């Protein structure tokens, strides 16, 4: 199964924010979209990603003044991305090894979706259930 298949099922909507937006706007966007991470997009495309964990850790370090700081001050600037043609299996390995929970999907330099670890797990469970159904049907046919 490919990442494009996952996006067809879940949709391609992605919550984004500008790098110069204040962290308070980031928090509002996280809550409004009920997501755990937001892709940071500048004029040149994807420039970072920021998660709830990033906010919590930095808030603990710096205090409430963080809320007026720009998102760029807490984002992860080295963003691992995948393409729609990548396989779910290969992304599963990368997400597990590198401990990523969210991976933006980019095609021809353009952000076209985001995949979470939950999306990957759901996809894998669906594949396993389909395999089980096929095996049961094969056995029943004798």
pLDDT in tens, 7-53: 998 888 999 999 999 999 999 999 999 999 999 999 989 999 999 99
Q: pLDDT (tens digit, 9 = 90+) per residue, 80-138?
A: 999 999 999 999 999 999 998 999 999 998 999 999 998 988 888 877 777 787 778 77
Kindly report the length of the chain: 142
Q: Which domain holds residue 101?
A: 3-141
How far apart CA 39 and CA 112 sit, in angstroms, is 11
CATH of residue 97: 3.10.580.10
Beta bridge partners of 39: 16, 49
Q: Cα–Cα distances in Å, from 13 out to 89, 122, 130, 135, 139?
A: 22, 18, 27, 35, 41
Which of these, 45, 10, 52, lies nearest to 29 by C-alpha position?
Answer: 52
Cα-based torsion angle of the residue sequence 35, 41, 46, 49 in order, rounded to the nearest 10 degrees: -40
Q: What is the tally of structural domains in the chain? A: 1
The first and second tokens of residue 33, run together, are: 């979209």
């Amino acid at each position: 199964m490919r990442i494009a298949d996952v996006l067809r099922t879940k949709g391609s909507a992605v919550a984004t924010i500008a790098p110069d937006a204040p962290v308070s706007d980031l928090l509002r966007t996280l809550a409004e979209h009920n997501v755990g991470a937001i892709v940071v997009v500048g004029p040149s495309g994807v420039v970072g990603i920021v998660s709830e964990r990033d906010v919590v850790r930095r808030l603990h370090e710096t205090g409430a003044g963080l809320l007026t700081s720009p998102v760029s001050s807490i984002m992860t600037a080295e963003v691992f991305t995948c393409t729609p043609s990548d396989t779910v299996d290969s992304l599963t390995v990368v997400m597990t090894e590198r401990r990523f929970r969210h991976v933006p999907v980019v095609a021809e330099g353009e952000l076209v979706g985001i995949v979470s670890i939950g999306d990957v797990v759901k996809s894998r469970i669906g594949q396993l259930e389909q395999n089980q159904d096929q095996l049961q049907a094969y056995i029943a046919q004798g």
